[in-house]
Structure 1
Amino acid sequence: MRHNRLTAACLAAGLALTGCSAAATGSAKDGTTLTYLTFETPSLTAKFWDTSIANAKKKVPDVAVKKIVAPSTDRDAYAKQLQASGQFPDLLQSITPSTFATAGLLKPYDQKWVNANFMLPMGNAYKGKVYIPPTNSQIIPEVFYNKKLFAKAHIAAPPRTWSDFMAVCAKLKAAGITPVELGGGDPFAASMPLVGILSADVLGKDPDWLKKRYAGKVKFSDTNVKAAVAKYRTMVEKGYFEDGALGVKYADSITNFTSGKSAMYMMGSWFLGSVPKDHADDFGAFLTPTEDGSLVVPFAVGGSMAISAKTADRAKATAFAEAWSLDPANYKALIEGDGAFPMLKGKTLADYGVDVTQVFKDSYSYVTQQNTKVSAIGWAANDDAMPSGLNNAFYSASQALFSSDDINGQLAKLDAAWDAATK
C-alpha cells in the first residue's frame, strides 16, 4: 500500500506493456493473449508468479499470458494509468474492486462458483457482486509480542483491556524496554495503531459505521472517533514508541522487533511470514485491547485476480482466473511467505502441506472461530472500502498525529477529504 513514483524508464516508455513492466509466458495457437497485472515482494517473487502462471495455464493451455509487474505497491494507481493510456490489463491481481467496478471496468465472477469454493463467499463483495475471489484473509492489525521481553518485565500474560495494555506499556518502559515498535517512516505502517484502535472502538461498537459515513450519518469528527484517536495520542505522549519512530522504515521496523529491540508490534497478520523460524516460540499475538476486554477482530478478506470487463476473451480470462484462484500451490506460498489465511472451503492448514509457526495457528483461529469480526478500517475490499484517495489521507493523518495533538484538525481534514471524494 506504499506509494512510489514510476521508474524513469517506464515513464519514458510511455507505460508500454512490451517495455520494462511486462513479460510474456507461453504461447497461444489461436492468438489469444491475456495481460496480467501482478506485483513482486520478497515473498512473492518473479519465480512465484511465473510458476503460478504456468500451473494455471495447464488448465487453459491455448492462451498466452503477458505478465505486467507494477512498479510500486500501489497497484490501483498503476492500473488507472494503464487504463488512461488504453492498456487496461485483462487480469489484475489484488486490486481494490470498488475503484474500478463503478466505472464498469470489471466483470463479476459467477456467484455459484464463488459459493461452491470459498468460506466467506460475500466477504469482499461490492454492491452485491464478487469481483475478486475471496481466497484469503488478514487481521489488520494484530499486536505481536516478544514473550521473553514480557517475562523480563514480569508481565505474565498479554492484556485484554485497554487499561491493562497501558499498564503493560508502562511496565515495559520502566524496565528499559521499548514498548511498541512503529515503522512510522512508511505511511501505511504509521497508521497501524490507529487502524487497530478505531476498528476495535468504533467499528467494534458499530460495524456499519463506514456505511453510515457514506450516508452522511456519522463523521470522523464525532466524539467517539476523537476518543479513540486520543488513545493513540496518549501512547505517543507517554513515550511508548521508540525514539524517532517517524523516521523508521517499515522494513527496519520488522528487523527491530524480531531482533528484540521492542516488545510489541502492531502490524497486519502478513508479519507472520517474517516470524523467525529459529525462535518462533518467542512470539505471540493478541488483538488490540478494548475497554471491556471484548474481542474485536479487524478483518480484511482479500482475493486473487479481477477480470477486465473489456477483455477480448471473457471465457478464457475467466477460466485462467478460476484455475489460478483454486491452485493449492499458490496458497502454500501465500501462507508460508506472506502470512495469508486461506479461505478455501472444506480445507484445513494440513491440506496445504505448509510449515507454519504456533503463532500463525493461534492467529488463524481468530479467522475460523465465531467472534466479532469487523472490517479493518482502510483495508476493506468490500462495501466498507473507503473512497478512492481516502487511504492516503488516513495515512497522512496518522503520521501527523504522531507529532501533533491537533486531533480535531486532522479529523476535520479527513471528513473534508471524504466529502470531496464522494461528491
Structure 2
Amino acid sequence: MRHNRLLAASLAAGLALLAGCSAASPDGAQDGSTTLTYLTFETPSLTASFWDTSIANAQKQVQGVTIKKLVAPSTDRDSYAKQLQASGQFPDLLQSITPSTFVQAGLLKPYDQTWVDANFLLPKGNAYKGNVYIPPTNSQIIPMVFYNKTLFAKAGISAPPKTWADFMADCAKLKTAGITPLELGGGDPFAASMPLTGILSADVLGKQPNWLQDRYANKVKFTDANIKTAVAKYRALAKNGYFEDGALGVKYADSITNFTSGKAAMYMMGSWFLGSVPKDHAADFGAFMTPTDDGSLVVPFAVGGSMAISAKTAAPDKATAFAEAWSLDPANYKVLIEGDGAFPMLKGKTLDDYHVDVTQVFKDSYAYVQNQNTKVSAFGWATNDDAMPSGLNNAYYAASQALYNSDDIAGEMAKLDAAWDKATK
C-alpha cells in the first residue's frame, strides 16, 4: 500500500508539472519550432544522459522540431500514458509501450509499411492487427536461463540440461552441494513471473503457438489441463526449495547482484540481463532455453521497438520524421546492445557495424535469434497480436507470486480466466 500511495503521488506530481505542455505546439518553443512531447523511461542502463543525447541527435535530422522529454515515474509506461491520456495530456511520442493497449482507443498512428519493410529484418514482428505501431528495432528472448559455469562444475554438472527432467536433476544436485539452484527477484512482480513465463512459452506455446489468439476466441482457458500441468512445474521448483530463501522479498535489482556475485547457479530472466554480465568474469556465464520434456528447443521471442506516434498529435509529419530518425540511429543501438542486452534488428548490419563490446554469452545468445528454430511469442511479453489484454499482465504477475507459496493452481488459473473475460468484454 505504501508503494501504491507513493506511485500515485508521483503520478499526480508529474501530471501537475505537465499541465498545459503535453500536446504538439506549432509555436510552443521560443525559436518558433514545433514542440513535441516524448514519453521515455530511465533505467541504470538507459540513463537520462542517454535519452538527452539520443533526442539531440534525432532533432538534428528534423528541421523545426523541439522535443520536450517526459519521464515515466516507474517502468510501467503503459499506466503512466493512461494517466496522461485521462488528463488530456497524451504525449506526441511514446517509447516502448504496448500498442494493443492504445490502438483500440484510436490513440496511435501506424508507420508506413514501406519504410518498415525497407529497414528491419522482421517487418511484421510486432505488428498489431496488420499495422506496425512501434518500429521492430530490436528483439529479446524472455526468458533465458543464465547459469554460472563455475557453480555447475562444483556440483558436478558438465553441461546445461536438455530436458525438464535433466533440469530438475541438476537443481537437486546443486541444492545437495549447498548451492542455491535458482535466483528469483520475487519482490518485483514481473521478475517473479519469469520462470512461469519460460515454462508456459516452452510447454504451451511450443505446442500451440496460437494459444493466446485462441484464448481471445474463447477456444482455450487457463484452467485447461495443459496449462495447469505447466504451472505445476513452477510450483514444484518453489516447493522443492530450489529458489533462494525469502525469494518473494528479493527486489529485481538485488537479484541481479545476487546472481552475478555467485549466490545462485541459475537465473531465469529476459535477455536484457546480458547487459549486466560482469565483463571481468564474463566467461563464467552461459545461457540456455527453458528445457522441454522431450528436449525440443523453443525460443520465447519478443520483437521490441522504439517509439509510438500519437494519432492525436498536431504535427504528425514532424513526429513521424523524428521517430524514424531516432529509430535508425546506430548510436542508440550501441547503448541498447551493450547496456540493455538488446538484439538489433536493422537490415544489412552485423554486430561489428555497431562498434560494440559484447561478451561471448551475448554472441551465443544472439545466435538463437539469428538461427532457424522454433520461435514463439514470449508469454505475457508480446506486443503483436499475441499481446494479452490490458491489465492481464498484472494479474499474471500476481498469480506468479501467489503460486510461490500456494498449491491452488486451479484457483489461480480461474482468476486469470475471470480477469481475461472481464478485460475483453
- Does the 8 A contact of 1:135 with 1:342 survive in 2? yes
Q: What is the SS of the residue equivalent to 1:265?
A: strand
Aligned pairs for 1:19-30 (under 5 A) are 29-30=31-32
In the alignment, is the contact (CA less than 8 A) between 2:187 and 2:249 conserved in 1?
Answer: yes
Tell me if the contact between 2:11 and 2:80 (Cα under 8 Å) persists in the aligned partners.
no
> Quick one: which of 305, 329, 347 aligns to 1:303?
305
The alpha carbon displacement at 1:31 in A equals 3.4
1:254 to 2:256 alignment: yes
Matched position secondary structure for 1:15: helix
Amino acid at match of 2:331: A
Measured against aligned partners, the alpha-carbon deviations of 1:140-173 in whole angstroms (never above 9, x if no partner) come to: 0000000000000110100010011011101101
Matched residue type, 2:274: L
Structure 1 Cα separation of the partners of residues 307 and 21 of structure 2: 22
For residues 389 and 106 of structure 1, the distance between their equivalents in structure 2, rounded to whole angstroms, comes to: 19
> Partner of 2:259: helix, strand, or coil?
helix
1:95 to 94, 97, 100: 97
Alignment-derived partner of residue 80 in structure 2:
78
**2:231 corresponds to which of 220, 229, 232:** 229
What is the number of equivalent residue pairs in this alignment? Answer: 420
Structure 1 residues 7 and 408, CA, compared in 2 at 3 Å: closer, same or farther?
A: closer
> What secondary structure sits across from 1:16 in the alignment?
helix
Decide whether the 8 Å contact of 2:22 with 2:90 is kept in 1. no
Residue of structure 2 in register with 1:145 after alignment: 147
User: Distance in 2 between the 1:240 and 1:205 partners?
Assistant: 27
Name 2:409's counterpart in structure 1.
407
Q: Partners of 1:100 and 1:28 in 2: how far apart?
A: 32
CA contact (8 A) 1:273 1:339 kept: yes
Does structure 1 retain, via aligned residues, the 8 Å contact 2:22–2:37?
no
Amino acid at match of 1:193: P
2:22 and 2:91 in contact (8 A); partners too: no
Cα distance in 2 for residues equivalent to 1:283 and 1:32: 48
- Provide structure 1 residue ranges, at least 5 long, that are not aligned to the other structure: none
Whether the aligned pair in 2 keeps the contact of 1:3 and 1:72 (CA below 8 Å) is no
How many Å apart are 1:334 and its aligned residue?
A: 0.3
Structure 2: state its 5+ residue gaps. Answer: none
1:233-248 map, 5 Å: 233-248=235-250
CA drift at 1:330: 0.3
Of residues 136, 142, 153 in structure 2, which corresponds to 1:134?
136
Partner of 1:6, secondary structure, is helix
**Post-superposition offset of 1:61:** 2.8
Kindly provide the amino acid, as one letter, of the partner of residue 233 in structure 2.
K
Are the aligned partners of 1:185 and 1:249 in contact in 2 as well (CA < 8 Å)? yes
SS at match of 1:262: coil
Closer, same or farther: CA 136–281 of 1 in aligned 2, 3 Å: same
The 8 Å contact of residues 283 and 360 in structure 2, kept in 1 or not, is answered as yes
Q: In 1, distance between residues paired with 2:278 and 2:14?
A: 41
On the 8 A contact 2:19/2:89 being kept in 1, the answer is: no
Deviation at 1:237, TM superposition (A): 1.2
Aligned positions of 1:277-316 closer than 5 A: 277-316=279-318
Change (3 A) 1:44 1:12: closer
The aligned counterpart of 1:17 is: 18
Note closer, same or farther for the CA distance 1:4–1:142 as it changes in structure 2 (3 Å cut).
farther
1:171 to 170, 173, 183: 173
Task: Show CA shifts across 1:228-253 (max 9, x none).
Answer: 00111111111111111111111111
Indicate the RMSD between aligned Cα atoms, in angstroms.
1.9
Distance 1:126 1:82 in 2: 23
Q: CA deviation at 1:8?
A: 3.1
Match of 2:9 in 1: 8
| Alignment check: 8 A CA contact 2:124 2:132 kept | yes
**Structure 1 residue 6: Cα displacement:** 3.2
Equivalence for 2:371: 369
Partner of 2:398: 396
1:155 correspondence with 2:157: yes
**Matched residue, 2:184:** 182
Which whole-Å deviations, capped at 9, do the CAs of 1:21-56 have from their partners, x for residues lacking one?
A: 99x9x9574431100000011110111000000000
- 1:186 alignment partner AA: D
One-letter amino acid of the structure 2 residue matched with residue 332 of structure 1: K
Q: Give the aligned partner of residue 358 of structure 1.
A: 360
Q: Indicate how the Cα distance of structure 1 residues 79 and 213 shifts in structure 2: closer, same or farther if over 3 A, else same.
A: same
- Seen in structure 2, the aligned counterparts of structure 1 residues 354 and 390 have a Cα distance that, compared at 3 Å, is same
Q: Do the aligned partners of 2:150 and 2:284 also contact (CA within 8 Å) in 1?
A: yes
Segment drifting more, 6-15 vs 147-156: 6-15
> 44-53 vs 29-38, which deviates more?
29-38
Specify the code of the residue in structure 2 equivalent to 1:257: F
- Equivalent-residue separation in structure 2 for 1:336 and 1:37 (angstroms): 23
Amino acid across the alignment from 2:349: K
Q: Could you tell me how far 1:58 is from its partner in structure 2? A: 1.1
The one-letter code sitting in structure 2 at the alignment partner of 1:172 is: L
SS at match of 1:184: coil
Separation in 2, partners of 1:4, 1:192: 26
Is 258-267 or 237-246 further displaced after alignment? 237-246
User: Following the alignment from structure 1 to structure 2, what is the Cα–Cα distance between the partners of residues 101 and 5?
Assistant: 29
Q: TM-score, normalised by structure 2?
A: 0.96
Secondary structure at the counterpart of residue 202 of structure 2: helix
Alignment of 1:183-202 (within 5 A): 183-202=185-204
Would the alpha carbon gap of residues 108 and 28 (structure 1) be closer, same or farther in structure 2, given more than 3 Å must change?
farther
Residues 1:341 and 2:343 are matched in the alignment: yes
Counterpart of 2:309, as a letter, is: I
Given that 1:39 and 1:70 are in contact with CA atoms closer than 8 Å, whether structure 2 keeps it comes out as yes
Runs ≥4 residues deviating over 6 A:
18-22
Paired with 1:5 and 1:214, the residues of 2 have a C-alpha distance of 35
Distance in 1 between residues matched to 2:162 and 2:113, nearest whole Å: 39
The residue number in structure 1 matching 2:331 is 329
Residues in 2 aligned to 1:359 and 1:13: alpha-carbon distance in whole angstroms: 39
